Amino acid sequence: MLDDIHAMMSMAASAGGLGAYQVDSEGTILHWSQSAEKLFGYTEAEMLGNSVYTLIPCEHHGGFAEFVSRLEHQSCLKVHSTRRKKCGATFLALITACRLQSIGNNGVIVVLVRDEGATKEEARFAELAASIVMSSTDAIASVDASGHVLTWNAAATRLFGYSAAEMVGQSMRPLFPPQRQWARGMGASELAQGRSLMHDTVRIHKDGREIPVSLVASPLIDGEGTYLGYSVIFRSATDKAKSVAAARDAERFNERVLVASNDWISVISLSGTLMYINPAGMKVLDRNDDPTANNANWISLWQDKDRSFVEAHLSLAIGGTATRFDADIVTVRGRTVALDVTITPIVDENGIVVRVLAIAHDETEKREQRAHLNLVVRELSHRVKNLLAVISGMARSSSAEDGDVQTFQKNFHARIRSLAKSHDLLVGVDWRGLDIAELLRSQVSAFGVGTHDRRITLSGPTTILRPEPAQMLGLAFHELATNAAKYGALADAGGKLDIFWERTVAEQGGEALRFIWQESVPGKISPAKRTGFGSEVLNELVAEMLGGESSLSFGDSSVTWTLNVSCLAEIASADDAAVPIGAPEAITAPC
């Protein structure tokens, strides 16, 4: 059998257009003859230990496994197939293979390849064409259908700085500016349909410089019409500086638009790979590393529970249908962001989808605002119900005070105005809380007295009341001021009204509030003979709502209303928490 091997190798060496080599069942080259080097153009050093797939066009890779499987059942086999030379040219080959088992190399296959499609003239022409390409002053490269470089001539090395060893087998990605990575493969559909491309653009030198180039890309199609890839010729376009500069300015303008956008903008390949992400997208994701550098899949950025849902929408866009959806994304820092996402197909001039554009708008703040608005509406509803209950109580009590309709209307309208004043003050501070001094001034001023009246003195620390306690205390102050204006301190020029409040320490701990309304007149003050809504407010309702105790007492020439609230936090806002107990009085001034 060893003699047979040598005989076959010798025959291959002497036969024109016949190359011989040995592979194992996995396709690894074990022996490479001079005849194989002559046929394919690869040296022994380039092929030993490498895969036989280097010689087989991508679309025919599956045939080798079938070839090996058939050799399991027969010792020799002849087939016709397509093979590829180092220069990128393909040819129709007659392949004769024998499987060896008896010399200790189980599974070793001896392969003889004959170029059946090339005459000597064609071979000389192919060599001439390859020589022209390799010696051309224009940068020329060929790329297979999967986007990997097949050939790279010396002029390409001079233009871009990359050697053939660095580029062959790699993608063209290093030549694209970072802001144009998404454009890689944009013309693939046109090339696959047999159309050439020609345009001016910018590429990147190995040292990082921008190089203006004119390029022409032409499809590579075999005799059977199968698309094998394309060839591309680059020519320096420094003489087209103006047009290139204009193109670059347009690209930079587009880039600035993308950078200026507050929305997360991504360009996605048809396989789901993230081709571009703008700075806003990096901010949304809380990322410092560029996910496009690692060919990250756009779907992988979403939560596991949402991925099938997001993928379904992406599939619609790839199919040519724009779509929109809402979803949450959890960033690398664990922050949840609510997004409104629109996915739109990007098509070429023939209407073929080549990329997908995804624009995601951050809806987190808007969602929080909606939640806050819903809370405000619920709170408003609650306040309206309480207000209506108070008004209903006012109507009942006001009618019970006097059977006279005009008296009822007068008292009822006065109390409604009192509520309205408190309401207006609360609206002015966006319902955050109301200063007790401002509330007092508002209610007392309704009776024609104000800061010019020396009969009235307010004294007490700043205390911000919550909205509902403020409305109820406003009613109490109105009733007190009404009585003072009719019978008390405000009805007598010699009267005196002292209003005092202080913060104290409650027995159970925490802050308490003590409020005193004290009137004095030169003459005698008599208690009201009948009770009504005013008495109910001062003696019961205020204390009940504020969780405290109140009392109204009459002296010969004085009236005193006292309110003690055991827990200030029940009625006072946290806005006032910075004022300590025992702080100097914030207000000591006439009303």
Give helix 405-428 / helix 436-445 axis angle, nearest 10°: 140
> What is the C-alpha separation between 282 and 287, in angstroms, rounded?
5
| Domain that residue 47 falls in | 2-122
The predicted structure's pLDDT at residue 584: 32
Question: Are 140 and 112 part of one and the same domain?
Answer: no
Question: Are 442 and 563 part of one and the same domain?
Answer: yes
At 206-251, the pLDDT tens digits run: 999 888 888 888 888 876 678 888 889 998 876 665 655 665 666 6
Q: pLDDT band for 585, please (50, 70, 90 cuts).
A: very low
The predicted structure's pLDDT at residue 1: 43
Phi–psi pair at 3, nearest 5 degrees: -60, -40
Residue 381 domain-assigned?
no
Q: Where are the alpha helices (DSSP H) in 43-187?
A: 44-47, 62-71, 120-135, 154-160, 164-167
Does the pLDDT at position 306 exceed 60? Answer: yes
Give the Å distances, CA to CA, from 327 to 262, 286, 333, 334, 362: 18, 17, 18, 15, 10
The predicted structure's pLDDT at residue 537: 76
The predicted structure's pLDDT at residue 397: 58
Stretch 389-410: mean pLDDT, rounded?
63
> What is the C-alpha separation between 460 and 468, in angstroms, rounded?
21
Using the structure block, give the residue that is written with the tokens 């009805």.
Answer: 491
Q: pLDDT band for 386, please (50, 70, 90 cuts).
A: low
Question: Are 428 and 287 part of one and the same domain?
Answer: no
Does the pLDDT at position 433 exceed 60? Answer: yes
CATH number of the domain within which 583 lies: 3.30.565.10
Does the pLDDT at position 62 exceed 70? Answer: yes
The predicted structure's pLDDT at residue 461: 92
Question: Are 140 and 116 part of one and the same domain?
Answer: no
Using the structure block, give the residue that is written with the tokens 């827990």.
Answer: 567
What domain count does the chain have?
4
Using the structure block, give the residue that is written with the tokens 């696959």.
Answer: 192
The predicted structure's pLDDT at residue 450: 62
The predicted structure's pLDDT at residue 250: 65
> What is the C-alpha separation between 78 and 477, in angstroms, rounded?
111
The predicted structure's pLDDT at residue 124: 63
Q: pLDDT band for 322, please (50, 70, 90 cuts).
A: very high
Q: Which of 103-107, 163-167, 372-376, 490-494 tops mean pLDDT?
A: 163-167
> What is the C-alpha separation between 10 and 13, in angstroms, rounded?
5
The predicted structure's pLDDT at residue 157: 94
Mention every residue, 6+ apart, whose C-beta is less than 8 A from residue 50: 28, 29
What's the one-letter identity of residue 122?
E
Instruction: Considering only CA atoms, give the Rg of the chain.
Output: 46
Q: Are 386 and 541 in contact (CB under 8 A)?
A: no
Mention every residue, 6+ apart, whose C-beta is less than 8 A from residue 486: none
Q: pLDDT band for 391, please (50, 70, 90 cuts).
A: low
Does the pLDDT at position 106 exceed 80? Answer: no
The predicted structure's pLDDT at residue 393: 62
Residue 207 domain-assigned?
yes
Q: Which of 19-28, 236-245, 364-373 tops mean pLDDT?
A: 19-28
Question: Are 199 and 301 part of one and the same domain?
Answer: no
Does the pLDDT at position 104 exceed 70? Answer: no
Of the three residues 99, 122, 145, the one that is the final residue of a domain is: 122
Question: Are 222 and 272 part of one and the same domain?
Answer: no
What percentage of the chain has pLDDT greater than the value 90?
15
Question: Are 427 and 549 part of one and the same domain?
Answer: yes
Q: Which of 190-194, 500-504, 539-543, 565-569 has the lowest mean pLDDT?
A: 539-543
Does the pLDDT at position 482 exceed 80? Answer: yes
What percentage of the chain has pLDDT greater than the value 70?
80
| Top-confidence residue, 103 or 298 | 298
Question: Are 146 and 116 part of one and the same domain?
Answer: no
Residue 396 domain-assigned?
no
| Top-confidence residue, 393 or 553 | 553
Over the chain, what is the mean pLDDT? 79
Q: pLDDT band for 562, please (50, 70, 90 cuts).
A: very high
Q: Are 591 and 453 in contact (CB under 8 A)?
A: yes
What's the one-letter identity of residue 28?
T
Question: Are 513 and 559 part of one and the same domain?
Answer: yes
Question: Are 102 and 228 part of one and the same domain?
Answer: no
The partner residues of 216 in beta bridges, in order of sequence, read: 198, 233
At 519-552, the pLDDT tens digits run: 999 887 766 655 566 777 777 778 787 888 888 8
Q: Which of 32-46, 161-175, 184-198, 456-470 has the lowest mean pLDDT?
A: 184-198
At 127-178, the pLDDT tens digits run: 666 677 777 888 999 888 888 998 999 999 999 999 999 999 898 889 888 8
Q: pLDDT band for 588, please (50, 70, 90 cuts).
A: very low
The predicted structure's pLDDT at residue 578: 33
Does the pLDDT at position 196 exceed 50? Answer: yes
Q: pLDDT band for 263, please (50, 70, 90 cuts).
A: confident
Residue 421 domain-assigned?
yes
Residue 391 domain-assigned?
no
Does the pLDDT at position 354 exceed 80? Answer: yes
Does the pLDDT at position 576 exceed 90? Answer: no
Residue 275 domain-assigned?
yes
Q: pLDDT band for 572, please (50, 70, 90 cuts).
A: confident
Question: Are 440 and 578 part of one and the same domain?
Answer: yes
Using the structure block, give the residue that is written with the tokens 């301190």.
Answer: 489
Quick one: which H or E segment has residue 7? helix 2-14
Give the Å distances, CA to CA, from 330 to 138, 225, 279, 312: 50, 48, 17, 20
Mention every residue, 6+ apart, whose C-beta is less than 8 A from residue 215: 197, 198, 199, 200, 201, 232, 233, 234, 235
What's the one-letter identity of residue 351?
G
Residue 129 domain-assigned?
no
Of the three residues 80, 98, 122, the one that is the final residue of a domain is: 122
Q: Are 363 and 325 in contact (CB under 8 A)?
A: no
CATH number of the domain within which 179 lies: 3.30.450.20
| Top-confidence residue, 507 or 398 | 507
At 115-130, the pLDDT tens digits run: 876 555 555 655 666 6
The predicted structure's pLDDT at residue 82: 86
Residue 257 domain-assigned?
no
444: tokens are 């007392």
Mention every residue, 6+ apart, whose C-beta is less than 8 A from residue 438: 425
Stretch 303-325: mean pLDDT, rounded?
90
The predicted structure's pLDDT at residue 207: 93
Of the three residues 71, 96, 122, the one that is the final residue of a domain is: 122
Question: Are 160 and 220 part of one and the same domain?
Answer: yes
